[in-house]
Chain A
Amino acid sequence: MSWQTFILHIFTYGILLYSMILLLCYLLIGAFSIMETRSYLHKNSFTDYRVLASSAEAPSMSILAPAYNEGATIIENVRSLLSLHYNNLEVIIINDGSKDDSLEQLIKAYNLYKVDFFVNQQIKTKPVRGVYRSHNPVYRKLIVVDKENGGKADALNVGVNIARNDYFVCIDVDCVLEQDALLKLAKPFLETSNQRVIAAGGVVRIANGCEIEGGRLVKVNLPKQFLPRIQTLEYIRAFLLSRMAWTKLNGLLLISGAFGAFDREIVIACGGYNTNTVGEDMELVVRMRRYMEERDEPYKVAFIPDPLCWTEAPSSFKILGRQRNRWTRGTIETLRFHKKMFFNPRYGILGMLSYPYWFFFEFLAPIIEFFGTVGIIIYFFTYAVNWQAIMIMIGVVCIGILYSIFAIMMEVLTYNQYKKRKEILSLVMVAILEPFVFHPFVVWSAVVGNFDLWRKNNSWGEMERKGFVANKKA
């Protein structure tokens, strides 16, 4: 056997082994997701959220919504947040040194005035320029904070300092929440007596194509554009399968930055959001978990499968590439900050399962996939057609499609947001096309993200949003 053949075989079987382990992970994720979702749906059938809505005993919550140059939609978005069904609520909008007229618009629309406000700097942040409240008692829940620009994490830290309630919900100001989203998100914090729920997340769905009126979701439609449509499938897969499965194992590492609730006391004890990473949402959850593990305190990160938050997905490859690039850098930075936990039994599931999974199948997967594909192409042109490697690739692609179809099936069996059969079939078509059209681009963006991190490029990657105005019903 020549050395080329030997390397080829090592390469082929290495990929095969990796694929087999990945397949096993998919199977386990599917099984755990079914268990957790079934359990949740049964439990939820006994829940009357009206009890919580009318109760003075409901946990107090603060919504933190950082805004940077959101002038085009901020008034409507704040109105939507103020209309949420929840009793003990304050809404804190943090204007992160916007260069547009966001603040002026807010002052005018909500009749705001500057108040003397003592900001307790429990977490160090960039200076606060002013805190505003409304003269109008209708908007008594609203607090607007104007601060020097410091990025999303810094803005959230200001919000954490200013919030007075036990829990806070961080949200992207342009997201649309279901009216009962806070009631549903508050419940996990009340359910357990033997462990502390330190954070809770809910499903984020794609709002492109949906009908939105006055900041409220009126009708769910599958996006018409190809990219948002494919991301719809991606989100279903990630939220309904992966996150539910990790919740079952109490090993969830990520609560989406677009919408998640946190125990304020623990967040402050951990030092708040890390301003040195672009993956501040994941990093915070990992640090909170690590904090609890190191203190041997029983805890849980909860996740509920109800679609609670609707967000606009990038509809161009340029913006999508920036987003995925940032996600990759955020993941690597978080893994690097907490490398101490890698296969460290001191951290239980977190160190022995969650962290290694993220390392091997979230961080390494795109790199392996990229170099695997490049390797196969090189061998194809230089030595011989390695049919075995190609068969493995076809197998992996088929497994990916199967996994996506399984996710669609879970969606149909549970929340069934896309009622028309045409929409379901369209999602199936997307599942078949995704490995050839969308996935290579995501892999490429992740590889570029790795390269950018190595070059120390830590830009956020602006997300240009079109807003939901276009989706409004005529």
Chain B
Amino acid sequence: MADKLITYLININWQIQNIALASIVVLMVCLLHFMIFYLYYKGRIEKKRNKWRMISDMLISKAIFFEDQRDEIEDEILASVTTAAKKLTDNRHFRIFIAEELMSAKKNISGGSSDSLKDFYLQLGLEQYALRNLASRKWYVKAKAIQELTTMHVGEFVDQLHAYTNDKNDHVRMEAQAAMVQFNGFDGLDFLDTITYPISNWQQIKLLQLLSQQPPSNIDISKWFSSANSSVVIFALKLARNYHRFELHDAIAACLDNEDPQVRLEAIHCLNEIYTDETSDHFIARFLREDIKHQLAMTKVMQTVGTDRDKLFLLDLLTYDNDELKLHAARALANTGRDGLGSLEEYSKKSDQAIGKILMHIKGEKAA
């Protein structure tokens, strides 16, 4: 049987091998040609981009430097450049190029010059292409269109963009949420009422950065503490912390009972900034229910929020069988009340060697 199979394979083998080898060689040659062609094509595109850069540079420099001082001749030149650019917008590569150049300039300037850039953008009709791209099936085309309309501050389409704040694609969602904040400031956060998809940490950082450019606002944050979407609660906690919303202390402390461990952890971090004399009581009441990660976080925060009343609790933590917990507890104790360090020194005299080393470590930190 094996004999027959091998004989059969031998007969067909030569032809297959020859064909396979020839195919591989042809593929290799094709790949090489493709690479050479690609490099050539890239060179050509680069040459074209250099030409287009002259047009974009002229448009942008006119917008930035001669906004109020253009004379008739300059206006004429500008009009002819704009017309030439408009003709080129049929070319997809040019549209992408000019939109990128205008966006990049718009990000770095403000005031009247910035408005002129938006005017050029509208004169070239680029917003219509962006709107068309919103309907694209490709997420990156859609997200880019949202980014473009936002950066160029084409506010007429805000309602249309709002629909994408809960899009199934995270990047489309991210751009739409960022758009809302850029157009409407803190009021733009109303998408938090309805979104069902999580907001990633990356997106939270981005939104906080965008909000930092807006004038502070006293919007109602506490409503988001009860959101079913944990990431919304976490983001709201970050908002409360960053904007020092001390009046929300009790609502934040209530988040220590949230089912999601990530929310509880964020609430602990938040209470490091927003605390009262009672904050440590909230921690102590929940301490034994928590896992070690949360216990460590609470003990760390006790350095800031701890009071004389917490000394016994912190001394008790020094008896736990976890060196990291001991270190944080000792640090908290040393920073607590009138003579925290003294209490720690007193305790170290009657305890094991590890506490002695921890004491030295903390003394060193304090001296530094």
Contacts and interface: CB of A to CB of B under 8 A. Distances in A.
Contact of B24 (A46, A52, A392, A395): A395
A151 B65 CA distance: 62
Given A46-B147, A51-B209, A116 B360 contact: yes
Interface stretch (A71-79, A326-334, A400-408): A400-408
B143 to A, nearest CB: 6
Where chain B touches its partner, the secondary structure class is helix
Where chain A touches its partner, the secondary structure class is helix
A12 to B, nearest CB: 9
B184 interface: no
Given A51-B209, A190-B202, A405 B28 contact: yes
A355 B12 CA distance: 35
A43 interface: yes
Interface string A380-406: 000000001001101100110110011
Contact of A428 (B6, B32, B174): B32
Interface in A46-60: 46, 48, 51-52, 54-55, 57-59
Nearest to A265: B293
Specify which of A193, A406, A428 lies most central, judged by the most chain B CB atoms within 10 Å of its CB: A193
Contact of A121 (B147, B205, B238, B323): B323
A402 B139 CA distance: 33
Contact of B200 (A190, A388, A398): A190
A203 B32 CA distance: 24
Interface residues of B, number: 53
Contacts of A45: 140, 144
B151 to A, nearest CB: 11
B28 A193 contact: no
A25 interface: no
Given A193-B200, A409-B31, A52 B357 contact: no
A424 B209 contact: no
A43 B201 CA distance: 16
A138 interface: no
Nearest to B234: A193
Contacts of A120: 323-324, 327
A118 interface: yes
Contacts of B202: 52, 187, 190-191
Contacts of B204: 57
13 contacts: A6-B2, A6-B3, A45-B144, A57-B238, A118-B327, A118-B357, A118-B361, A122-B323, A191-B202, A193-B199, A388-B14, A405-B28, A428-B32
Given A190-B202, A402-B24, 13 more contacts: A6-B6, A42-B171, A45-B144, A46-B144, A55-B208, A55-B209, A57-B238, A116-B361, A118-B361, A191-B201, A391-B21, A392-B17, A409-B35
> Would you list the 10 A-B pairs with minimal beta carbon distance, nearest first?
A193-B198, A116-B360, A118-B361, A190-B202, A190-B201, A116-B364, A42-B140, A398-B24, A120-B323, A9-B6
Interface of B: 2-3, 6-7, 9-10, 13-14, 17, 20-21, 24-25, 27-28, 31-32, 34-35, 38-39, 139-140, 143-144, 147, 171, 174-175, 198-202, 204-206, 208-209, 231, 238, 293, 323-324, 327, 354, 357-358, 360-361, 363-364, 368
